[in-house]
Chain A
Amino acid sequence: MKKLLRTITIAAAATFISVSCDDFVDIDPKYTIDADNFFLSPDDYDRALTAAYDLMQTSYLDLWIGEIASDNSVAGGESVTDTQGLHEIDAMIHGGVNNELRNFFRWMYAGVTRANYIFEFKDNIDFEGKDKILAQAAFLRAYYYFELVKFFGDVPLIVDKRLNFSEISQQERTPATEVYAQIETDLLYAASILDWTDEVKGRITKGAALSLLGKAYLYQNKFDEAAETLDEVIESETYELDADLEGLFRVGGESSPETVFDIQYVGSEGGGYDCFVCLEGFAAVGFHGIREYKGPIYATGNSYNLPTSDLKLEFEAGDPRLDIALLDIEAFKDLHPEVEFAPGGGGHTGFYNNKYLKRADELGAGDDDLTSPVNHKVIRYADVLLMAAEAYNRKASPDDVKARGYLNQVRDRVDMDEVNLSGTALTNAIYHELRVEFAGEGHHFFDLVRTGRAAAQIPGFTVDKNELFPIPQVEIDLAGAGWSQNPNY
Chain B
Amino acid sequence: MKTKLLALLLTLSLATYGQGSLKGRVTDEKDQGLPGVNVLIKGTTQGTVTDANGEYTLANTTADAILVFSFIGYTAQEIAVAGKTVIDTQLVPDIQALQEVIVVGYGTTTAKELTGAVSVVKAEEITKLNTSRVDQALQGQVAGVQVTTGSGAPGGQMNIRIRGYTTNGDNNPLVVVDGILYPNPTDALNALNPSDIESVNVLKDGTAGIYGVQSANGVILITTKQGRKNTKPSLDFTGYYGVQEAANKISVLNATEFAVLKNETYAGGNEAPPYANVNLGEGTNWQNEVFGTAPVQNYNIGLTGGGEKATYSIGASYFNQEGIIGGEKAGYKRYNLRVNTTFDISPKFTLENVLLYTNERRSTVPEMGISAILFNTLNANPISSPYTSAGEFTLLEDVSEVANPLAQIYNTFNDSKVNKIVGKQELTYKINSHFELTGRAGYNAAIVDYKDFSPPVYYGTGKAMNTLNLNSATGELEPRMKEIATGVSLPTYNWVNEKRTTYLDYNFEAFLNFNQTFNAQHKVKGTFGMSAYGNVSQELSGTGYNVPYNSAKFADISAATGPDVLNTTDSWQDQTRQQSFFLRGEYAYGSKYMFSAIVRRDGSSRFGENNRFGIFPAASAAWVISEEQFFNSSLIEFMKVRASYGVSGNDKIENWKYRALLGGEGVYPFDDQLTTGAALGVPGNEDLKWETTHQTNFGIDLNLLNGKIDITTDYYIKKTNDLLFQPAISAISGAYGAGGNSPYVNGGDVKNSGFEFAITYRDKIGSDFTYSIGYNLTTIKNEVTALQQGVDFYSFGGFGVGGGSVSRMQVGYPIGYFFGYKTDGIYQTQQEIDERGVSQDPDRVKPGDLIYKDLDNSGDISFSDHSDKEMIGSPIPDVIMGMNLSAGFRGFDFSLLLYASIGNEIVRNYERQQPMSNLLTYNINRWTGPGSTNEYPRLTTGNDTNGNYNGVLSDYFVEDGSFLRIKNIQLGYTLPAAISKKIGARKLRFYVAANNLATFTKYLGYDPEFATKDPNVSGIDTGFYPQARTIMGGVNFNF
Contacts and interface: CB of A to CB of B under 8 A. Distances in A.
Contact of A478 (B348, B462, B729, B944): B729
A476 to B, nearest CB: 9
A94 B864 CA distance: 5
A453 interface: no
29 contacts: A5-B427, A19-B508, A22-B603, A29-B575, A32-B663, A33-B661, A34-B659, A35-B680, A38-B678, A44-B678, A48-B679, A50-B668, A51-B737, A80-B942, A81-B949, A95-B865, A105-B731, A109-B736, A117-B680, A165-B683, A264-B669, A268-B674, A273-B370, A277-B738, A289-B462, A342-B916, A347-B943, A360-B469, A477-B792
A56 B941 CA distance: 35
Contacts of A98: 864
A48 B677 contact: yes
B803 interface: yes
B664, B670, B678, B863: which has the most chain A beta carbons within 10 Å? B678
A88 to B, nearest CB: 5
B666 A51 contact: yes
A299 to B, nearest CB: 6
Contacts of B400: 291-292, 300
A292 B916 contact: yes
Interface stretch (A155-163, A183-191, A311-319): A155-163
Interface string A1-22: 1100110110011011101101
Given A343-B269, A345-B915, 15 more contacts: A5-B429, A13-B437, A36-B660, A50-B667, A54-B737, A84-B804, A114-B666, A158-B732, A168-B732, A277-B736, A346-B947, A347-B943, A369-B462, A474-B728, A475-B732
B662 A34 contact: yes
Interface stretch (A195-203, A208-216, A402-410, A436-444): A195-203
A110 B429 contact: no
Interface in A396-443: none
A278 interface: yes
Interface in A169-196: 169, 171
A79 interface: yes
Interface of B: 269, 271, 345-346, 348-349, 370, 397-400, 427, 429, 437, 439, 461-462, 464-467, 469-473, 480, 482-483, 508-510, 530-532, 534, 573-575, 577-581, 603-605, 609, 612-613, 655-656, 659-681, 683-685, 728-740, 789-792, 795, 799-804, 843-844, 862-866, 912-916, 940-944, 947-949, 951-952
A345 B942 contact: yes
Interface residues of A, number: 128
Nearest to B371: A367
A5 B864 contact: no
Contacts of B663: 32
Interface string A80-97: 111110011001011111
A480 B482 CA distance: 47
A300 B461 contact: yes
B170 to A, nearest CB: 19
A326 interface: no
B666 A50 contact: yes
A277 B469 CA distance: 26
Q: Which of A201, A342, A472, A480 has the most CB of B within 10 A?
A: A342
A77 B668 contact: no
Given A9-B427, A24-B603, A266-B483, A292 B461 contact: yes
Contacts of B437: 9, 13
B862 A48 contact: no
B604 to A, nearest CB: 6
Going nearest first, the 7 A-B pairs with the smallest beta carbon separation are A51-B666, A113-B734, A50-B677, A300-B462, A51-B679, A110-B737, A51-B677
A479 interface: yes
A295 interface: yes
B579 A25 contact: yes
Given A44-B678, A201-B670, A74 B944 contact: yes
A149 interface: no
Contacts of B943: 343-345, 347-348
Contacts of A299: 461-462
B369 to A, nearest CB: 9
Contacts of A268: 482-483, 674
Nearest to A108: B731
Given A5-B346, A96-B865, A80 B947 contact: yes
Contacts of B480: 363, 365-366
B612 A26 contact: yes
Contacts of B575: 27, 29-30
Given A27-B605, A50-B668, A51-B664, A78 B802 contact: yes
Interface in A451-489: 472-475, 477-480
B941 A343 contact: yes
Contact of A20 (B581, B734, B740): B581
Contacts of B656: 29, 32
A388 interface: no
Given A29-B655, A97-B864, A345-B941, A112 B734 contact: yes
Given A97-B864, A110-B737, A266-B483, A346 B803 contact: no
Nearest to B269: A343
Nearest to A273: B370
A266 B866 CA distance: 39
Which of B612, B671, B730, B737 counts the most chain A CB atoms within 10 A?
A: B730
A292 B670 contact: no
A293 interface: yes
Contact of B669 (A44, A280, A368): A280
B737 A47 contact: no
A47 B676 CA distance: 7
A382 B609 CA distance: 58
B532 A264 contact: no
A106 B736 contact: yes
B943 to A, nearest CB: 4
Contact of B677 (A47, A81, A297, A478): A47
Given A24-B532, A55-B737, A111-B737, A200 B802 contact: no
A202 B603 contact: no
A114 B737 contact: yes
Contacts of B863: 84, 88, 93
Contacts of B660: 34-36
A162 B734 contact: yes
Contacts of A168: 729-730, 732-733
Given A50-B675, A81-B802, A266 B731 contact: no
A78 B669 contact: no
A139 B948 CA distance: 43
A275 interface: yes
A168 B729 CA distance: 9
A31 interface: yes
Contacts of B473: 296
